[in-house]
Amino acid sequence: MTDATLTSWIDVPAGHDFPLANLPFGIFSNPRGGARPGMRLGDHVVDLSACHALGFLDGVEVNAEVLVAPVLNPLMKLGKPVTVALRERVQTLFHSDCAELRDRSDAHASCLVAMDDVQMHMPVEVGDYTDFYSSEDHARNVGKMFRDPDNALLPNWKHMPVGYHGRASSIVVSGTPIRRPMGQTRPDPDAAPVFGPSRLLDFELEMAFITFEGKPMGERISTAEAEDHIFGLVLFNDWSARDIQKWEYVPLGPFLGKNFGSSISPWVVTLEALDHLRVAGPNQDPAVLDYLTYEGDSHYNVPLEVEIVPEGQGAGQVVCRSNFRHMYWNMRQQLAHHTVNGCNLRAGDMMASGTISGPEKGSFGSMLEISWRGTEPVDMPDGSARKFIQDGDTVVMRAPYFGEVRGKLLPA
């Protein structure tokens, strides 16, 4: 059920990111036990292991071992029918009309844990990570800055979802600090490169989807099948060292300018929870090849914002308000393209959207665009200004239904 009017016997304030209609999956720990799967409901975590032990999940084909695993991968390996059934069972259990757990006050302390008492962990063990480049406005902005403004998009851009394979080991959960990377840059094009800390440290506002198991190697997933292989989504900050990236990316693309860290939100929001946010995508012109065609609304109306909080400040400056619906290529097309050559997927693979920029300056999804390559600084409430991210800054990305992902930049 995705009806936003669903009510729970647990107090969930109106407008909360995690109503009964959402119920995302995550990995939490508390003094009672180690890292294990839970679901977010308002300001509480539903302890799935405790619910299972007390018999409240009878009828769902999930075993006790899966519900005490320190990552969601074993649960995802059971496939979408099981995760959907589990979500629907918990939704029924906490519905205001269901007395089964509501009237068992002796079980409440076991099945419900206050968010103030938990620590969140990486929800999945990421096997492989792919980053796409699927926002037309972002691609055009970058093309205008670094190439011919009249031919900002490269010839292949409107024919395929362009992407590259990134580094899975440095994807971290919200709250984990990120250290400014060191590397080679070439600030003077007429001089030799130098080694030192990146001076042009940036964020990239993205969403990422996490996959179930795919098909065997050599087989492809069609756009019609793609959603059966998508577990859910997280907010994704793809930290970027623009000066390192600029010097290294020819001819093989992003490397050290990207692989030092990416941050994700802790709760995985299922596709089923987002069903009511579906919208039509843009008209794709020229027409795409047959394997990239799709039917139905496959984009999502999810408002997004980014705030920069300077060190020592309680609040910062919102520098971006964008929307996931601005994507040119959708997740179904990305997954179909990723597997069209027979590439096999595994449960826990992560695929990021690429920077999500809208058509107006206030909706640009990176400081590269917001400050227009550093020529238009953004004022902060403490009187300072930002062209790129400074040491001590905390970058916070937020979205309804997702909560937030935050990360503080530490010195090199």
Q: Is the pLDDT of residue 387 over 80?
A: yes
| Confidence grade of residue 185 (pLDDT, cut at 50, 70, 90) | very high
Q: For 346-382, how does the pLDDT look when each residue is reduced to its tens digit (9 = 90+)? A: 999 999 999 999 999 999 999 999 999 999 999 999 9
| Confidence grade of residue 3 (pLDDT, cut at 50, 70, 90) | low
Residue 13 lies in a domain: no
pLDDT for res 150: 87
Residue 102 and residue 174 in one domain: no
Domain hosting 295: range is 129-301+325-369
More confident residue, 147 or 250: 250
Residue 233 lies in a domain: yes
pLDDT for res 228: 98
Mean pLDDT of 192-206: 98
Residue 396 lies in a domain: no
Q: For 284-338, how does the pLDDT look when each residue is reduced to its tens digit (9 = 90+)? A: 999 999 999 999 999 999 999 999 999 999 889 999 999 999 999 999 999 999 9
Q: Is the pLDDT of residue 135 over 80?
A: yes
Distance CA 405, CA 206 (A): 11
pLDDT for res 147: 85
CA end-to-end span of the chain, whole Å? 47
Residue 96 and residue 193 in one domain: no
| Confidence grade of residue 103 (pLDDT, cut at 50, 70, 90) | very high
pLDDT for res 219: 98
With a CB cutoff of 8 Å and minimum separation 6, the contacts of 142 are: 152, 368, 369
Residue 171 lies in a domain: yes
Residue 170 and residue 284 in one domain: yes
Residue 66 and residue 191 in one domain: no
In the chain, the percentage of residues whose pLDDT exceeds 70 is 99
Residue 312 lies in a domain: no
Residue 114 and residue 171 in one domain: no
Q: What is the CATH number of the domain that holds 81?
A: 2.30.30.230
Q: Is the pLDDT of residue 85 over 90?
A: yes
Q: Are strands 403-410 and 394-399 parallel, antiparallel or unpaired?
A: antiparallel
Distance CA 19, CA 17 (A): 6
Q: Flag whether the pTM goes above 0.95.
A: yes
Domain's final residue, options 61, 95, 121: 121
Return the sign of the alpha-carbon dihedral for residues 66, 349, 140, 366. Answer: positive
With a CB cutoff of 8 Å and minimum separation 6, the contacts of 382 are: 310, 313
- Per DSSP, the residues of 7-48 read -BSS---TT-SS-TTT--EEEEEETTEEEEEEEEETTEEEEH
Other residues' Cβ atoms within 10 Å of the Cβ of residue 296: 11
Quote the tokens at residue 96.
């205001």
Residue 287 and residue 352 in one domain: yes
Residue 332 and residue 212 in one domain: yes
Q: Whose CA is closest to 265, among 206, 327, 330, 345? A: 206
Residue 29 and residue 89 in one domain: yes
Residue 215 and residue 353 in one domain: yes
Q: For 40-78, how does the pLDDT look when each residue is reduced to its tens digit (9 = 90+)? A: 999 999 999 999 999 999 999 999 999 999 999 999 999
Residue 112 and residue 159 in one domain: no
With a CB cutoff of 8 Å and minimum separation 6, the contacts of 168 are: 126, 127, 128, 129, 350
Number of domains in the chain: 2
Residue 380 lies in a domain: no
Residue 179 and residue 45 in one domain: no
Q: Is the pLDDT of residue 4 over 80?
A: no
Q: Are 266 and 29 in contact (CB under 8 A)?
A: no
pLDDT for res 5: 73
Residue 62 and residue 145 in one domain: no
- Residues designated catalytic: 138
Residue 363 lies in a domain: yes
Q: Is the pLDDT of residue 407 over 80?
A: yes
Q: What is the CATH number of the domain that holds 264?
A: 3.90.850.10
Residue 275 lies in a domain: yes
Distance CA 42, CA 117 (A): 14
- Per DSSP, the residues of 257-283 read TTTT-EEE-S-BEETGGGGGGEE----
